[in-house]
Structure 1
Amino acid sequence: MRVAIVYESLFGNTSQVAAAIADGVRESRPDAEIECLRVDEATPERVGAADLLVVGGPTHMRGMTSGLSRKMGLQAEQKEGEKDQAKPRHEPEEGAEGPGVRDWFRGLSKTGNGARAAAFDTRADFRLAGGAAHAIARRLRSHGYQLITEPEGFIIEDTEGPLREGELDRAKAWAAGLVTE
C-alpha cells in the first residue's frame, strides 16, 4: 500500500500531525510505503501513485488558508514577537511563505478511478473557530477521490500552537483506522 500525506504548515503544528499520521499508518501497516510531503513537494506524479491520499492544513479565518491569510498570520506573529519579548515566539516553518493547500489543489489532476482519500486540519477550540478539513474534503471529492472517513480536526491551544496534549496520539489512532481493513 502506498500512502501520500500532503500538508501545509505555518508554525509546525500541522507538520507534527502529518508525521503522527505517518507513524499511525506505519504501526498499523508496516509494509506501507509512506511519503509525508509539504505541498510544495507534492507533485502530481508523487501523489498520483498513492493508494491513499491524506491531505491537511491549518485553519485560517474559519477555513482553508489563502495566500493573504498566510501572509497576515506570519506578519501578526512577527509583530506579536516584537511587541512582547516575554511571549514564546513561534517561528514560521520552512516553506511557510510558499503555496498552500488551496493553491496546491489547482494543480492536482482529477482521478477517474475513485482513489481513496482523507482530510484533516489543525484548528483552535473555540466557538465559531471553523475548520479547513471539510473544504479540503470537498476539493478531494471534486477531484474524483472517494473519502473513506469523515474529515478530522486536531486542536491547537493558541493561534499558533502548541497542539493540545494527546492530539498526536489521537492523530496516530485516526491514521491507523484509515488503513485497517
Structure 2
Amino acid sequence: MHALVVYDTNYGSTRTIAEVIATELGRGTTTLSVSDITEASLDGVDVLVVGCPINGWKPTDRMRRFLRTLAPGSLAGVRAAAFDTRIKLFIHGDAAAKISHALHAAGATIVAKPHGFVVDGTEGPLAAGETGKAGAWAAYIGAELRASA
C-alpha cells in the first residue's frame, strides 16, 4: 500500500495531525506539504488523506488550488479521506467536507467521514487530546482499508 497524506498548514498544527495520521497508517505512508506537490506526487498512490486548516469557512487557497488540479476520474481506484483543523466556535465552516467532496468528484472512494481537529486559537496549539483523536481516526481508516482489501 502506498499512502500519501497531503496537508497545508499555517502554524504547524495541521502538519502535526498529518504526521500522526501517517504514523498510524504505517509503512508505505508519506506526508507531503501541498506546497511541494507535483503531478508525479500522486503516481502509484492507493490511499490519499488530505487536510488543511479552515480559512474563511473553507479550505486554504493553496489547498483549493491543488484540488482544482484533480480532473474527474483522476483518482479512480484511490481510497481517500479528508480532515481539517479548526477553532471550536459555534460557526466555523467545514474545510474537510469540501475537500472530501473534491476527492470524490475526482473519482476517489471515500473511506471515512470528514473529520475536524480542534486548535486552541488561530495559531494553535492543538487542543488537548486531538493527536490521540487523530491516531484513532487514522486507525479507523486503516481498518476500513484492510476490510475492503
TM-score of the aligned structures, taking structure 1 as reference length: 0.75
Given that 2:53 and 2:86 are in contact with CA atoms closer than 8 Å, whether structure 1 keeps it comes out as yes
**Alignment identity in percent?**
36
Distance 1:62 1:107 in 2: 21
Runs of at least 4 residues off by over 3 Å: none
**How far apart are the structure 1 equivalents of 2:60 and 2:84?**
11
CA distance in 1, matches of 2:130, 2:41: 28
TM-fit CA distance, 1:42: 2.1
User: How many angstroms does 1:43 deviate by?
Assistant: 2.0
State the partner residue of 2:53: 58
Q: Which structure exhibits the higher relative contact order, with contacts defined as CA atoms closer than 8 Å and separated by 6 or more residues?
A: 1
When residues 17 and 142 of structure 1 are mapped into structure 2, their CA distance, relative to the original with a 3 A threshold, is same
Partners in 1 of 2:36 and 2:117 — Cα distance? 23
For structure 2, the 5+ residue unaligned runs are: none
Aligned residues: CA RMSD: 1.4
Name the counterpart of 1:101. 63
Q: Confirm whether residue 159 of structure 1 aligns to residue 105 of structure 2.
A: no
Task: For residue 76 of structure 2, give the secondary structure of its aligned residue in structure 1.
Answer: coil
Q: Distance in 2 between matches of 1:8 and 1:53?
A: 14
| Aligned positions, number | 143
Q: 2:92 aligns with which of 129, 135, 146?
A: 129
The alignment's TM-score, normalised by the length of structure 2, stands at 0.90
* Alignment pair present for 1:19 and 2:19: yes
